[in-house]
Structures are given as C-alpha cells and as structure tokens.
Structure 1
C-alpha cells in the first residue's frame, strides 16, 4: 500500500471546519519535517526518533492510521447519519459517494402502529416513518437495500419490493 493510500488521523488532534483537512499533530509534523534535513546521518537520526514517537503515539491511541478501505467501511457504517467530523476521512482522492447500502437484516419488528423497526448487520437501526407497506415482511437473513432519497430522506426496500421511508436511529 502506498503512502498516498494512507490517511494519518489524530484522534485527539483538532479538527478544522467542515470540509477542511484536519490539522497535523506535532508527532506527524515532526516526521514530515525530517525530510528538510540535508545531512544524511542527521536526517536518519531524525526519522528514527520521529518514527519511534509515531509508533508510541499509535500504541497509546493518540494517533490512528486508517487506510482507504477502512475509511470506506466507516463511511458505509455511518450511512444515514449526518456527521460533520466524518470529513476527516476525505483526504487524498475524492472519496466515493455512498448513495445506498445493502445489509443483511438481523431483526425486524412491527410496533403497535404497524411501523417497522429493522436492525441490520453492524447494529444499524432503521425505523419506518411513513405509512407505506412492504410487500414482503422482512426476516433475519434477508437483505435490506437503503437508498438516499430527496431532501435528506431514506428509502428501504426488502427483496426489490415497494420502498418505505425510514430514519436511522443508531
């Protein structure tokens, strides 16, 4: 994996305005600054010290290293939420827009008003917000397809059947 494919993120570092790249931590900046040293021995010593500090910070959880595949997985898991801080994963190439997810259903129940609540793989909870009907009752193991709708809405389908409007609870 190339360095361009890695996103270096600081869990405790400051995050800029929405859409802005997060500020680099001092640990990360120290590593990058080693490149500016002209003398080979001094540059190598700088890299050794900075890499050691970086490794220690990662072990403590002060810095988290996430590759593009992991960042995409986080974006899919967060589908349905509006999270301004999710932009910390938007470094490098423009991330793919996620307009729909297809996840297995782990449970599906109807409330006293006949509205569905579905729990999907990974713990996502989606609650029906309209009075529509699914032509197939969802069951564990079936796949739910959730697509972005107009003006921040979401539609859920099971087995290609008619969609219902849903809202993500968690």
Structure 2
C-alpha cells in the first residue's frame, strides 16, 4: 500500500467522522453536536400534528438518504469505528472522540498481524509490510536474528514515550515506527 493510499483510507475515515458531527463542532471541541441533516430528522419529533410530523419525517429521511448517497454525511456503526481505531494504530492522530459515543473507547495497545514482505533499507534497518498494508520501519540498532519472512506472525505493542516495540516470530523486540 502506498503512502497516498494509506492517507486516502485514513482521510476517508476522518472525513466520515467530520461529516457525522459537523466541522464546527470538532473545531469547538463539542463531540455531541450533530450534522444539520440528522438534527432535522430528530426535530420532527417536536411536531404536534401527526400528519405534519409524518411529512416532516418523510422530508428529513429523504434529505438524509440524499446526503448519505452524495457522501455529505457518513453513518458509522461501532464495529466500523473500532476498525478505524485499529487501522490507525501507530499513527499520531488527533483525538477521534466522535467514534467513542455511547461507549468507552477501546484502547488499542497491542496488535497482531502477519508479515506480507520485509526488506532492509539503505540504513540497515528492517522495513516490514504487514498483510493489512501497514508499513513499519525499525528505528533502533537491535539485531534481528532471524530475518522476517512473508507469513511470519508479528506482535506490535505500545511502549513508553510514544514508541512501539515489534516482535517477529516471538524473537527479541525492536523499536519501530509506522511509516504507512
């Protein structure tokens, strides 16, 4: 996966997040704010006359469907939000509090994956691409006794001061940074 593809995927997830809550709400730090289109649907409950309320719901639902079809608003369920948090593991990103509505955010401290490919860069550090497209680069001088190969299991865990430790095939860990 190229850097642009990774950024596009992450960007799409963040764009969906912004569409869900509205950019002004994020700028003001108010994750409880709603997109105007969704608020219109909710406001229909306040209409006293049942015929007028039904007409309000019909119009608001049609507007919501149109906005979703155009990509102006994105609806994300809890499982999709968890997936985004896991895909973002290793990236320094702003808070994604809108993915945490209704539940305590699942803190991802460790991931497991499989190596898709691995090679050494010009500085003699390992570059490991995982099957999900994430690319991690070794940043310390630790020796890796057995070269990582496609299909090898990988465990990456959060370490101190924002760093990450990667272990391939249960070997001694080395410090790594997510590149893509």
Larger strand percent? 1
Q: 1:134 to 1:166 in 2, by over 3 A?
A: same
Query: How far is the alpha carbon of 1:134 from its aligned partner?
Result: 2.3
Larger helix percent? 2
2:94 is aligned with 1:84 = yes
Q: Normalization by structure 1: what TM-score?
A: 0.87
2:64 is aligned with 1:54 = yes
Aligned Cα RMSD in Å?
A: 2.0
2:115 is aligned with 1:105 = yes
Q: Following superposition, which runs of at least 4 residues in structure 1 exceed 6 angstroms of deviation?
A: none
Q: Secondary structure at the match of 1:106?
A: strand
Q: Normalization by structure 2: what TM-score?
A: 0.83
Count the aligned residue pairs.
163
Q: Structure 2 residue aligned with 1:11, among 9, 16, 19?
A: 19
Whether the 8 Å CA contact 2:129–2:136 is kept in 1: the answer is yes
How far apart, in 2, do the equivalents of 1:143 and 1:150 lie? 23
Q: After the TM superposition, which residues 16-165 of structure 1 pair with which residues of structure 2 at under 5 Å, given as runs? A: 16-17=26-27, 20-21=30-31, 23-84=33-94, 86-165=96-175
The match for 1:4 is none
Question: Which runs of 5 or more structure 2 residues have no equivalent in the other structure?
Answer: 1-15
